[in-house]
Amino acid sequence: QVPLVESGGGSVQTGDSLTLSCEASVDAFSMSAVGWFRQARGKEREFVAAISSGGSTIYADSLKDRFTVSRDNGKKTAALQMNNLLPEDTAVYYCAVGLRGRSATALTMKIWKVYTFWGQGTQVTVYS
């Protein structure tokens, strides 16, 4: 069973909005942080946003005014609301689950290597 499944990606115009969803089949979902990362073609994976098990959120500085991360522990889902999309937001977006409890800090949640479970990614393409 695939631990995480992302959906909601697509092709949009500059200024449009998209909401990405992440459905988890991970038993410890409610106790773990959820991170969102993206990787553009030819570039390294970068941190986008994360939400701890307790609901604390952090964002990449350049994205915090346009993106919002949320989660629903009862449904084992997380979402990334993206507004006013720009061509530079074009990338494959991944959700990840890991970092239980207090291990999820503002520093650790930004590090993709510490997450245990990953989805397959969903493509977001923004046209100018």
Select from 65, 66, 121, 64 the least CA-distant residue to 93.
121
Eight-class DSSP state of 44 = -
| Cβ-based neighbours of 88, under 8 Å, separated by 6 or more | 40, 126
- Name the percent of the chain lying above pLDDT 70: 99
pLDDT, position 115: 95
Average pLDDT, integer, range 107-115: 94
Judge whether residue 1 has pLDDT over 80. no
Query: How many other CB atoms are there within 10 angstroms of residue 112's CB atom?
Result: 17
| Cβ-based neighbours of 52, under 8 Å, separated by 6 or more | 33, 99, 104, 109
Judge whether residue 8 has pLDDT over 90. yes
Judge whether residue 73 has pLDDT over 90. yes
Eight-class DSSP state of 103 = G
CA distances, 14 to each of 6, 81, 87, 112, 127 (Å): 22, 15, 6, 27, 6
Average pLDDT, integer, range 89-100: 96
pLDDT, position 2: 76
